[in-house]
Structure 1
Amino acid sequence: MSTVAFMTLGCKVNQFETETMEGLFKRAGYTIGKFDEPADAYVINTCSVTSLGDRKSRQIIRRAHRENPDAVIAVCGCYAQTAPEAIQSIEGVSVVLGTKERSRIVEYVEQAMREKTQVVNVTDVMQAKTFEDIPLYDMPERTRAFLKIEDGCENFCSYCIIPYARGPVKSRKPIHIREEAEKLVKAGFREIVLTGIHLGAYGRDLAPIALADGTMRKITLADACREVLAVGGLKRLRLGSLESLELSPELFELIRTDERFCAHLHLPLQAGSDQVLHDMNRHYDTAEFARLIENVEREVPGIAVSTDIIVGFPGETEELFADGLAFVERMNFSRMHVFPYSRRSGTPAAKRKDQIPEPVKKERVHRMQALADRKAREFHEQFLGRTMRVLFETTKDGITDGLTDNYIRVYTDSPVTSGELYEVHIEKLYKDGVWGQVV
């Protein structure tokens, strides 16, 4: 029996796609091995959001070749899509796929094994119009299950390579979303997280549905949520990253009225300066973003809003960066992911002459991250003394951690079972979250 090992870089969408490929190999009779051990084949699902992702992808490919020079190494994902020639030239690479054709990866790996030749199938992703619907044939070993319902992005932010790697918006059909959700709940998952490259664009490419009065209505993310919430036995539904402008009244209604809908939204701000937002080709300004967040907090009290921030974008002066710090200071973010701007060849921002020096970007990351850490503590402090429901996940050295519905990580030494929900009294700040005892 052949052994295949996987390595995933990047986002939750990549993680989900790796899990679907693992299922395809298991179905074909393969054993899933560990990546740092000899295997007959290695599958590397790459990321290209930053130059660091590209570099890590190359390092991991070379590592797999050193582990077993005779193994078939299959490389797929965003970096393989945007730079297939660079991947092909790395010693040991046998299969190169992009962000399509993953449903045939077993076939391509076996072809490379049989013919001792390099197999390359990287097609024009801009011509991809339908969602690559690969069922989950094997269940991941986690308490939360990610369910990909959308692929592609058409926003073309000036710094981002992803639209070129993923192509236009492609949505999973609602009936298939429910079928996958039913499988996940039946397998014992308590929480499902809906993911996508541009999740809020879900449904734009699908045919509208006819209403009882004869009118037509577009399918939206709210419809996908209703499909999952209709599954009996589901305890929690959480959304992946959304654009703030895509928060619809229907979505608010579901979050507010269905207790299974997690009170947590990840809404990328990217910059707290109107000038920088304009240069990034983001389609809002800080005032509009602030109004949207105020509406979110009014509609769903206690909701957690996390965000992404990019610092050191081309042309970001010290004054513009200070504007960003001041804006973030006014917001009640529960968590912030801070990134230095990464120059991506082929994007408009990469062509600009006013690039920020690396030492300046590094220093700004530290300042923004210090603010992010303080904002997270302030958010957590609001819940000290309260009792909250926690879905526990992993145990190490007698301490188990898990998440509240508003994405606060809770640690405890109370006897609990991973994958189960408990009422927990929150006592104090601890590590990146809080400490509590089961009620």
Structure 2
Amino acid sequence: MKKVAFYTLGCKLNFSESSTLARMLEDLGYERVEFNQQPDVFIINTCSVTDNADKKCRKIVREAQKINPEGYVAILGCYAQLKPQEIAEIPGVDAVLGASEKFRLHELLPTFVKATSGTAQVYNSPIEEALEYHASYSLNDRTRTFLKVQDGCDYPCAYCTIPLARGRSRSDSIANVVRAAGEIAARGVREIVLTGVNIGDFGLVNGERVETFLDLIRALDEVDGIERFRISSIEPNLLTDEVIAFVAQSKRFVPHFHVPLQSGSNKVLGLMRRRYRRELYADRVAQIKRLMPDACIGVDVIVGHPGETDELFRETYQFLNELDISYLHVFTYSERPNTLALDIRPVVPGSKRAERSKMLHILSDKKRRAFYETQLNRTATVLFEEDVENGQMQGFTENYVRVTAKYDPLLINELKQIRMTAINPAGLMEAEEIMTDMVVHH
């Protein structure tokens, strides 16, 4: 029996795809092992969102060669679609699979032969040919499961390579997603995170809109066995009043939204070719908070995009500072080949990018703390996870407050009502009272 190990870089979508590919290989008799357990085959699923992804990929290939010099190394994912020849020349790489080809891994693997230097096999077709949709979800990695519902993107944002790496927007059918959610429920999973590249654009099949994201979440709300659904990230222009209103009264969708902003300056949003202005974003936040005062709202922001002057960055900072949001994911802009942003001036120096990133990280900590303080002395439901550190275990409330409690094996993968009593020095919420006699069921 051949042993295979996966290493996944990047987003939740990549994790859901790696997990699905691993199950396909297990069905063929491969044994899935950890990266350091002398696998015969190393599969590295790459990301291309920042230039660091390229460096990380090289580093992991070197590690794989140390662990098993005879091991077979295959690279797939976004970086593999964008730079197949560059990856093929990395010493130790044996095969490169592009966006369309990665889901043929199980049929291609038996034909793979170990490369002599510089002869890696490249399976890569133009991104325009990546039209098929491949359903995926993660299993056994976490208490929560990432369920892919959509792939690709039709938005030409100036800084982004994802349309070049993943192709046009395309989706699964609602019937298939509901069936997958049922399979996941049957395995005892309590929470599903919906993921994709642009999930608010759900419903496109061969370029035609046949269903909508609102139809999808209405159907999933009826799936028995799953206690919670989370929406991973949704564009502000696609987060409609109807979607917000539905989540507010839903049985299973939790009050947690992650809404990419990227910049709080309308001028920079224009340079980025985003499809909204900051006024719309502020309106979405206000609408969520009006219907769900305790909702958690996460925000993606890019600092140092070309054209972002000191004054325009200050606009972003002030906008975020005044907004009723809960935390930030801060990305430092990095130049990506073949993107429109490369032609925009002025270019922000690296030291300035780092300084702005630091300012927003501090703001994020402040926002998270303020949000947690609004939750003190409230009861909430926590889904406890398997990770145990220093005798403590953690989990998340419906509205994404990270809670820590004394380890108890009976709590793993259980939904428990707790009272949130204090915020510890690490910034986690402490749960004093766990109502052990009360497991929450719908």
Structure 2 length normalisation: TM-score? 0.93
1:119 to 112, 118, 121: 121
Q: Aligned AA for 1:88?
A: A
Q: Which amino acid aligns with 1:121?
A: Y
Bigger mean CA offset, 197-206 vs 161-170: 197-206
What is aligned with 2:343? 351
Please state if 1:365 is matched with 2:357: yes
Q: Does 1:236 align with 2:231?
A: no
1:79-90 → structure 2 map (5 Å cutoff): 79-90=79-90
Of 264, 285, 295, the residue aligned with 2:256 is 264
Assess if the C-alpha contact under 8 Å between 2:383 and 2:397 holds in 1: yes
Shift in Å, 1:338: 1.0
Aligned residue in 1 for 2:411: 417
Aligned partner letter, 1:318: D
Cα contact 2:135–2:148 (8 A) shared by 1: no
Using the TM superposition, give the Cα deviation of residue 62 of structure 1 relative to its aligned residue in structure 2, in angstroms: 2.2
Aligned to 1:212: none
Moved over 4 A (4+): 114-117
The aligned amino acid for 2:220 is: V
Match of 1:65 in 2: 65
Alignment-mate amino acid for residue 417 of structure 2: E
CA contact under 8 A between 2:152 and 2:168: conserved in structure 1? yes
2: CA distance between counterparts of 1:351 and 1:140? 44
* Residue 176, structure 1, aligned to residue 158, structure 2: no
* Residues 20-79 of structure 1: per-residue CA shift (max 9 Å, x gap): 011011111111111123211000000000001111112112221232221111100000
Preserved CA contact (<8 Å) 1:313 1:355: yes
Measured in 2, the distance between the counterparts of 1:69 and 1:123 equals 29
Which secondary structure does the structure 1 equivalent of 2:347 belong to?
A: coil
Q: Is the 8 A contact 2:93 2:115 kept in 1?
A: no
In the alignment, which of 281, 291, 301 is matched to residue 289 of structure 1? 281
Aligned position for 1:191: 191
Structure 1 residue 413 displacement after superposition: 1.4
Q: 2:85 is aligned with what amino acid?
A: E
Answer yes or no: is 1:434 the counterpart of 2:420. no
Q: Which residue is equivalent to 2:439? A: none
1:343-376 residue CA offsets vs partner (Å, 9 max, x unmatched): 1111011233421111111111111111111011
Please list the CA deviations of residues 399-433 of structure 1 after superposition, one character each: whole Å capped at 9, or x if unmatched: 11000111110111163521110011001113243
- Work out the CA distance in 2 between the residues paired with 1:360 and 1:185: 47
- Counterpart pick for 1:334 among 315, 323, 326: 326
Q: What is the RMSD computed on CA atoms of the aligned residues?
A: 1.8
SS of the residue 1:275 aligns to: helix
Whether 1:386 and 2:378 are equivalent positions in the alignment is yes
Partner of 1:211: none
Cα deviation, residue 282, structure 1: 0.8
How far 1:118 sits from its partner (Å)? Answer: 3.6
In 2, Cα distance between equivalents of 1:58 and 1:145: 29
8 Å CA contact retained: 1:206, 1:219: no
* Letter paired with 2:418: V
Taking structure 1 as reference, are residues 139 and 287 closer, same or farther at Cα in structure 2, changes over 3 Å only?
A: closer
Q: Structure 1 length as normaliser, TM-score?
A: 0.94
Residues 108 and 119 of structure 1 are in contact (CA less than 8 Å); yes or no, is this contact kept in structure 2?
Answer: no
Distance 1:59-1:414 versus aligned 2 partners, 3 A rule: closer
Name the CA shift for 1:171/1:334 in 2 (closer, same or farther; >3 Å): same
- Runs of 5+ in structure 1 lacking a partner? 209-216
Q: How many residues align?
A: 429
How far apart are the structure 2 equivalents of 1:432 and 1:85? Answer: 45
1:376 is aligned to 2:368: yes
Q: Is the 8 A contact 2:99 2:130 kept in 1?
A: no
Q: In 2 relative to 1, CA 86–294 (structure 1 residues): closer, same or farther, beyond 3 Å?
A: same
Change beyond 3 A, Cα 1:295–1:218: farther
Question: Superposed, which structure 2 residues align to 1:240-255 within 5 Å?
Answer: 240-255=232-247
The AA in structure 2 aligned to 1:436 is: A
Instruction: Flag structure 2 segments of 5+ consecutive residues without an equivalent.
Output: 436-442
1:52 has 2:45 as partner = no
